[in-house]
Structure 1
Amino acid sequence: MIDDDPEIEESPLCGEVTRDGVTVRIEIYRLVEGDESWTLEVIDHEGGSTVWDDRFATDRDAYAEFYRTLETEGIRSFLEQSSDATK
């Protein structure tokens, strides 16, 4: 059986962030082969996902965008009501 799933590289910047009693998981990843840009995804406690349409040149750029959004819109902007949304 051939495995057609692409190999994904996760950034060491992935992890959980808790603020105001709310925890989200930050996923920053890219394909091992092909496009060098990084994808930013934030997953809430119920599994709802917010994925940015934009790609980032570095994993640090992606994390900086997460942090900017966290500071300007708050951690609740990532909760279920905005799940499966794109930024």
Structure 2
Amino acid sequence: MAKKSKIEHSEFSGEFEDDGVTVLVDIYRSAGTQQDWKLEVISENDLVTTWEEPFATDKDAWEEFLATCEKDGIRSFLEDEDPAVH
């Protein structure tokens, strides 16, 4: 049985609320490594939006999340029309 790798979560991870909508921002990488960070946003309806490309730093991932909120609005994470991949 393969061991599950442990995950390191960024200090930027957590709930984010805007315009009456709360999402969970998860920025993570394998624990104990210097690997790039991955970004996922989970909506109140459990829709998961995942970025395909990793980020060199957790701050880069956080800034991408904020830029997406600014450009598309936080409600874009509630829609299930397009594939939930950036």
Superposed pair shares fold, TM > 0.5:
yes
Does residue 10 in structure 1 map to residue 9 in structure 2? yes
Cα drift, residue 84 of structure 1? 6.3
Cα drift, residue 19 of structure 1? 1.1
Question: Structure 1, unaligned stretches of length 5 or more?
Answer: none
Does residue 86 in structure 1 map to residue 60 in structure 2? no
Matched residue type, 2:77: F
Paired residue for 1:70?
69
Kindly provide the CA deviation profile for residues 12-49 of structure 1, in whole angstroms up to 9, marking residues without a partner as x: 11111111111101000001255610000000001110
Give the distance between the partners of 2:41 and 2:13, measured in 1 at CA.
10
Cα drift, residue 83 of structure 1? 8.1
Cα-Cα RMSD:
1.9
Give the distance between the partners of 1:84 and 1:43, measured in 2 at CA.
14
Aligned-pair identity in percent equals: 44
Give the distance between the partners of 2:81 and 2:69, measured in 1 at CA.
14
Give TM-score, length-normalised by structure 2.
0.89
Give TM-score, length-normalised by structure 1.
0.88
Aligned length: 86
Cα–Cα, structure 1 residues 70 and 19, in superposed 2: closer, same or farther, change >3 Å?
A: same
Cα drift, residue 57 of structure 1? 0.3
Which secondary structure does the structure 1 equivalent of 2:28 belong to? Answer: strand
Give the distance between the partners of 2:45 and 2:83, measured in 1 at CA.
12
